Structure 1
Amino acid sequence: MTPHDGVIRDEPVVRDRAVVRDRDLPEGDVARRSPAKQRQGRARSAIWTRRLAVAALVLAALNLRPVVTSLGPVLEEARAALGMSATVAGLLTSVPAVCFALIGSAAPRLARRHGPEGVVLAGMAAVALGLALRPFVGSTPVFLTLSGFALAGIAVANVLLPVVVKQRFPDRVGMMTGLYSMALNLGAAAAAVTVPLAGVFGGDWRAGLGAWAVLAAVAVPPWVALARDGRRPPGKQDGQQTGRQAGRAAGGHAAAGAGAHVRVARSPTAWALAVFFGLQATSAYVIMGWLPQVFRDAGLSAEAAGLLFAATSVLGVPLSFVLAAVAGRLRNQSGIAVLLGAFGLAGYAGLWAAPAAAPWLWAVLLGVANCSFPLALTMIAMRGRDGATVIRLSAFAQSVGYLLSVPGPILVGALYQHTGGWQGPLAFVVCLMVPQIAAGYLAGRDRQI
C-alpha cells in the first residue's frame, strides 16, 4: 500500500518487466511510444521487402536466357538422342521470338487477375518445370512442348519485370532496370558452362542441360513472398508507404486494373518503342546467330571467333547497368538511342568492309550497340504514367517488337546462302540500323502515355 495524492491504491508486484504492455503504461506514454514503434517496424519491414524485391528481380533475370542459350553447346547430342532433323533444330532459333510475342500479349490480362508478382511467380515455376523435364524425354515433339512451356514463363516475366520495377522502385527505375539487365546478360553468358556441368555428371548432356532447373527453382521462393505482399491493399504493402509514394507505385490488382482503358496502340510513342525494340532484337539475334560464322568465313579460327563473340556478350554485363542507370536519370533518352545506333552502324560497316582487319574493334562496337536492350526496357518503364500503363505498354512493345524481329535473322541466313558471302547480308543489317536510330530518337523523347 502506498500513499499517492492522498489516495491509497493497490500496486501490483511486477516480477518480470517483459510482461509490462502498453495498456499497463500511462496513457501519455502509450501515445508517445506506440506510433514510434509502429513506424520503426514499418521501416524495417519496408527495407526487408525492397531487398527481397531486388533479389527476386536479379534471380528472375538470371533465368531469362539459359532456356535458349544452354541448348546450343549440346544441340548435336540432343539431336542425335531425339532423332531431331536439322529443319526442326533450325526452328528452335525462331520459337523464342514467336513465343515471346504471342504469350507476352496475354500478360496484362493475367496481371489484372492475379497481380504482376503472382504472374511472374507462375512464370518462374514454369521455367523450372520445363527445364527440369525436357532433357529426359524421348521424343522431339515433347521436347519442343516443354521448351515452349518454359519459354511461356519467360515471356510473361519479360513483360512484367519492368512493371515490378516501376511499382517497387519508382524513384530508381533506371538503376534497377540496369541491375536486372546485367543479371540477364550474366545468365546468357553462364550458359557456356553447360558442357562442363555435363562433364561433372560423366558427360551426360541431359544432366548438364537439366541442371539449369536448379537456378530457376531458386528464383521461386522470393516471388512467393512478393506475390503475398502484392495482394495487400495499396498503402499497406511493406515495400510502400501511404500518400504520394503509394500513388506513384500503385500496386497489385488495383494498379493492374486502373489502366485497363488505356489504348497504347493509338500512341505514336508506343509504336516507336515497339519498332525500336523489334529492330534492336533483330540485331541481337543476328549477332548471336551469325557473328562467329562471319569471323570464321573471314579466315579466323573457331577459337578466335568464339572469343570475339564472348566479348560482345561480356561487354553487356557492366554496360547494361551503367547505361540504364544513366538513362533513368534523364528525361530524354533520344541521344543515347542515337549513339548506340551509331556504334552499331560502325560495327556492321567494319564487318562489311574488312572483317579480319580489326575484328576486336568490330566486336566491341557491336557489344556496345547490343546495350539497346536495357535502354528499351528503361524507356518502357519511363514512358508509362503508372504501373497499369507500363503493363500494357510493355506487352505491346515487346509483343509487336518480337514479331518484327522474327524475319530478320531468317533473311540474313537466306541472303548468305543465296550469295555465298556476307556483304549482302551485312548491307541489309546496316540498312536496318537507320530506322532503329529513328525509332529510338522518337521513343526517347520526354513523353508519357
Structure 2
Amino acid sequence: MMVGMVSEEATTAATRTTRPTAAPGPAPGADGPRRSGTHAWRARLLVLGIVLAALNLRPAITSLGALLEEVRTGLGMSGSVAGVLTSVPPLCFAVFGVMAPRLARRFGPGAVVCAGMAAITAGLLIRPYAGSTPAFLAASALALMGIAVSNVLMPVIVKRWFPDRVGSMTGLYSMALALGTSAAAAVTVPVTDALGGNWQTGLAVWAALAAAAVLPWLPFVRDRRAASDQGPAREQGHAREGAPALRITRSRTAWALAVFFGLQATGAYITMGWMAQIFRDAGVPAGTAGVLLAVTMVMGVPLAFVIPRVATRLPHQGPIALALGVCGLIGYAGLYFAPAAGAWAWALLLGISNCAFPLALTMVGMRARTGAGVAQLSAFAQSTGYLISIPGPLLVGVLYQHSGGWGLPIALMAALMVPQMVVGVLAGRDRTVEDEAARQP
C-alpha cells in the first residue's frame, strides 16, 4: 500500500519535471530520468521517515503508563507527583508545539523532525537511569519536546510533499501513530519481564525505535524548503509562504479546530487513564480490563487510515465528526448503565469515537492553502487544544474520589462530547484560514 502511493506520486512528479526541449540530445534525455529517479527515491525515504516518526510519537507516554507503579516505587515518587506526571504530556505538547513553525522556517521542517527524533531518543535513554524524580521529569520533558515539534510538523510535511495525497498520507501517519500507541501499551510489560524484570530496561528499550527514526530524516536536514525540487507550482507556493505570518487568531475555523482538537484529546487521555479502572470497578477482571483498553486503542489502527481518505473526498467533514460523537455518546451511556454486561461493545464504540484525532489532523491539512498556513494552523490548533485537554483527566479523578463512583465522571465525559460535535461541524466547513484572517478587520 505504501509503495503504491509513493509510486503514484513519483509518476506524477516525473511528469511534471520532464519537459520537451527544442533540440533534443543525450544530455537532457539523461537528466530527466535522473531527476525523476532522485525524486522517487526521496519520496520513498520520506514515507519511511513519516511512518517511523509516527510510531515514536506515543510510546514515551504509554510505556510509562504500563510501568508507572514500578517507576513510583523505584524513585520513591508520591501519588500526587505521579498524578502530575500524567498531565505533563499535554502541557509539553502545548508549550513546545508553539515553537515548531518558527524552527521550521529557520532550519527546515525535515531538520526539525530529525532533531525531534534525536531528542526522543536521548530522553528515553536518559530518564530510566536519571536516579531522581526531578531528573526523570526533565528527561521526560526532553522526549516530549521532540514529540511536540514533530506532532505539529507532520501535517506540514504531508501538505508540502504530497499535496494530492493528503488523505492517504495522513491516514498512513495516523495509523502508524495508533499502532505505536497500542504496541507500547501492550508489549512493554512482557518485554520488561523478558529482559529480567527491570523497569529501567523496559523503558529504555524504546529508545532503539526512536534512534531508527532519526536515520531516514538525515538526507532532509539541509533541505530548507523540503519541496523545492517539485516544480514552479511549488516555488510559487513557497513565495506565498514567505509572506508575513497570517493572524491565525482571526479565523473562526482555526478556533473551532483548536477546540475540537482539545476536546478529542481530553476524551483520549481520559480513556487511556481511567477506562480500565472503570471496568475493574464494575467487576471486570484486571486482565480483561487491560485487554478492553487495548481493543479501544487498536481500533485506531485501521480507522486512522480509512477516515482521512474519506474526509478528503467530502466537501464538509462535519458529518464524520457527528458520527464519531454519536459512537462516543452510546459508549458512555453503556458505561453508565451496564459497564460489565456490554463491556466489549462499549470498548469498540469508544475506540471508534477516539478516531476524531486523525480527522482533526486531516482537517488541519485541508483548512489552509499553503505549507506556512498549515504550519501556523497546526501549531495553534494543537498547542491550544492540548492546553484545553490538561484539566480533563484530573477533573475525572477528583469527581471519582469525591462522589465515590463513576456516575458523575461518565456524565462529564458524555457532556463534553456534545460541544466536540458542534465545533467539529464548524471546523469541517469548506473554507481556509487564510481567507478568514484576511476578511477580519
- Alignment TM-score > 0.5, same fold: yes
Change in 2 beyond 3 A, CA 1:232/1:428: closer
CA distance in 1 between counterparts of 2:85 and 2:243 reads 36
- Whether 1:408 and 2:392 are equivalent positions in the alignment is yes
Is residue 117–residue 213 contact of structure 2 (8 Å, CA) maintained in 1?
A: yes
Is residue 103–residue 112 contact of structure 2 (8 Å, CA) maintained in 1?
A: yes
CA distance in 2 between counterparts of 1:445 and 1:29 reads 47
Match of 1:305 among 265, 289, 292: 289
Shift in Å, 1:222? 1.0
Shift in Å, 1:282? 0.5
- Whether 1:380 and 2:382 are equivalent positions in the alignment is no
**For residue 108 of structure 1, what is the aligned residue in structure 2?**
101
CA distance in 2 between counterparts of 1:299 and 1:217 reads 41
Runs of 4+ in 1 over 3 A off after TM superposition: 28-31, 232-235, 245-248
Shift in Å, 1:428? 1.1
Percent identical among aligned pairs is: 59
Is residue 260–residue 388 contact of structure 1 (8 Å, CA) maintained in 2?
A: no
Worse-matched range after superposition: 337-346 or 437-446 = 337-346
CA distance in 2 between counterparts of 1:321 and 1:259 reads 34
CA distance in 1 between counterparts of 2:23 and 2:124 reads 55
Shift in Å, 1:206? 1.0
CA distance in 2 between counterparts of 1:259 and 1:412 reads 44
Within 5 Å, which residues of 2 pair with 1:436-447? Answer: 436-447=420-431
Shift in Å, 1:81? 1.8
- Whether 1:201 and 2:195 are equivalent positions in the alignment is yes
Match of 1:244 among 233, 258, 279: 233
CA distance in 1 between counterparts of 2:225 and 2:138 reads 35
**For residue 259 of structure 2, what is the aligned residue in structure 1?**
275
Is residue 416–residue 424 contact of structure 1 (8 Å, CA) maintained in 2?
A: yes
Within 5 Å, which residues of 2 pair with 1:24-103? Answer: 31-103=24-96
CA distance in 2 between counterparts of 1:197 and 1:263 reads 48
Change in 2 beyond 3 A, CA 1:385/1:30: closer
Change in 2 beyond 3 A, CA 1:375/1:29: closer
Deviations 1:318-357 (A, max 9, x none): 1100111111222321111111111111111111122122
User: Does the residue aligned with 1:219 lie in a helix, a strand or coil?
Assistant: helix
Match of 1:365 among 349, 353, 362: 349
CA distance in 2 between counterparts of 1:91 and 1:234 reads 41
Deviations 1:227-257 (A, max 9, x none): 23x236864x3xx2x1235545x4xxx67x5
Worse-matched range after superposition: 274-283 or 219-228 = 219-228
For 2:390, the aligned partner's letter is V
Shift in Å, 1:358? 1.1
Is residue 160–residue 227 contact of structure 2 (8 Å, CA) maintained in 1?
A: no
- Whether 1:336 and 2:330 are equivalent positions in the alignment is no
RMSD: 1.7
Is residue 270–residue 443 contact of structure 1 (8 Å, CA) maintained in 2?
A: yes
Taking structure 1 as the reference length, the TM-score comes to 0.89
**For residue 180 of structure 1, what is the aligned residue in structure 2?**
173
Deviations 1:60-84 (A, max 9, x none): 0000001111112222222222111
CA distance in 1 between counterparts of 2:243 and 2:261 reads 22
Match of 1:227 among 221, 229, 239: 221
Number of residue pairs matched by the alignment: 412
CA distance in 2 between counterparts of 1:68 and 1:259 reads 37
CA distance in 2 between counterparts of 1:277 and 1:232 reads 28
Within 5 Å, which residues of 2 pair with 1:348-363? Answer: 348-363=332-347
For 1:349, the aligned partner's letter is A
CA distance in 2 between counterparts of 1:352 and 1:385 reads 43
CA distance in 2 between counterparts of 1:47 and 1:189 reads 31
Change in 2 beyond 3 A, CA 1:76/1:370: same
For 1:302, the aligned partner's letter is A
For 2:329, the aligned partner's letter is L
Worse-matched range after superposition: 361-370 or 258-267 = 258-267
**For residue 217 of structure 1, what is the aligned residue in structure 2?**
211
Deviations 1:188-240 (A, max 9, x none): 11112222222333222111110100000001111111223x236864x3xx2
Worse-matched range after superposition: 114-123 or 188-197 = 188-197
CA distance in 1 between counterparts of 2:425 and 2:414 reads 17
Is residue 281–residue 402 contact of structure 1 (8 Å, CA) maintained in 2?
A: yes
Taking structure 2 as the reference length, the TM-score comes to 0.90
Shift in Å, 1:33? 2.2
**For residue 14 of structure 2, what is the aligned residue in structure 1?**
none
Shift in Å, 1:381? 0.8
**For residue 148 of structure 1, what is the aligned residue in structure 2?**
141
**For residue 434 of structure 1, what is the aligned residue in structure 2?**
418
Change in 2 beyond 3 A, CA 1:112/1:383: same
Is residue 337–residue 440 contact of structure 1 (8 Å, CA) maintained in 2?
A: yes
- Whether 1:158 and 2:151 are equivalent positions in the alignment is yes
| Structure whose CA Rg is larger | 1
For 1:362, the aligned partner's letter is W
Is residue 259–residue 389 contact of structure 1 (8 Å, CA) maintained in 2?
A: no
CA distance in 2 between counterparts of 1:234 and 1:347 reads 43
Change in 2 beyond 3 A, CA 1:447/1:59: same
Change in 2 beyond 3 A, CA 1:355/1:319: same
Match of 2:183 among 186, 190, 207: 190
Shift in Å, 1:359? 1.1
Shift in Å, 1:161? 0.6
Uncovered stretches (5+) of structure 1, i.e. residues with no partner: 1-27
CA distance in 1 between counterparts of 2:226 and 2:253 reads 32
Match of 1:327 among 311, 315, 319: 311
Shift in Å, 1:37? 1.3
